[in-house]
């Protein structure tokens, strides 16, 4: 029969074997958080400033487009003052064609340049969000950060009637997180970092 001392020794030995396993299990439990990059993208100050710049550029482009269109219209009116086939008519006709080609070429160049700028800016902003997410994760010692997309499903029956089954399925498939109590959401932390870095560079 075991003595009380032997029982205590046996109990401590058992605990010694159990505790490391439990601690190891606790350490192996991944620390997971969520981030909503779309929210960060829309609310970060750099995005707001870029939207304002784009609006200013759009107004300037519209003014330039109107100026070129007006010049083309004036060229058409000038051509109409002469008889078709005359030397003056041919000169005005060439001038009108040149202005029309220049307007079309300018429009295509502007369209291509705006698309290039938009893609470059979007990529640049996403990389900043990605880097900020990494910094928050490292600071909080997170193992995994999941992208959360909060796509609202139609709640109004009339709105639901206006979309087909495939469109509804696409909305559902865009949901990346089924439930989030917000306790492990780092969206605001990421937003704070990207804004702080942007402010520091201004």
Residue 12 placed within a domain: no
Q: How far apart are CA 64 and CA 198, in angstroms?
A: 32
CB atoms within 10 A of CB 145: 20
Domains: count for the chain: 1
Residue 68 belongs to domain spanning: 31-148+185-201
Residue 158 placed within a domain: no
Residue 7 placed within a domain: no
Evaluate whether 68 touches 99 at the Cβ level (below 8 Å). yes
**What CATH number does the domain containing 190 carry?**
3.30.910
Q: Give me the tens of pLDDT residue by residue for the chain, a chain 202 residues long.
A: 445 444 344 444 444 444 455 444 556 788 999 999 999 999 999 999 999 999 999 999 999 999 999 999 999 999 999 999 999 999 999 999 999 999 999 999 999 999 999 999 999 999 999 999 999 999 999 999 999 987 888 888 898 889 999 999 998 988 888 888 889 999 999 999 999 999 998 7
């Amino acid at each position: 029969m075991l003595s009380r001392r032997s029982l205590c020794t046996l109990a401590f030995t058992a605990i010694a074997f159990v505790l490391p396993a439990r601690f190891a299990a606790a350490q192996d439990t991944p620390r997971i958080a969520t981030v909503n990059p779309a929210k960060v993208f829309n609310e970060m100050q750099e995005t707001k400033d870029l939207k304002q710049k784009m609006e200013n550029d759009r107004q300037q482009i519209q003014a330039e487009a109107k100026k070129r269109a007006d010049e083309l219209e004036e060229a058409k009116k000038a051509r109409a003052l002469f008889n078709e086939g005359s030397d003056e008519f041919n000169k005005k006709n060439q001038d009108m064609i040149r202005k029309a080609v220049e307007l079309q070429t300018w429009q295509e160049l502007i369209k291509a340049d705006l698309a290039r700028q938009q893609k470059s800016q979007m990529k640049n902003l996403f990389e900043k969000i990605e880097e900020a997410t990494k910094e928050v994760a490292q600071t909080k010692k997170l193992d995994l950060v999941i992208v959360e997309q909060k796509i609202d499903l139609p709640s109004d029956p009339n709105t639901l009637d206006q979309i087909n089954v495939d469109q509804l399925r696409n909305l559902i498939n865009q949901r990346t997180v089924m439930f989030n109590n917000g306790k492990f959401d780092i969206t605001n932390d990421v937003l704070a970092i990207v804004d702080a870095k942007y402010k520091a560079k201004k």
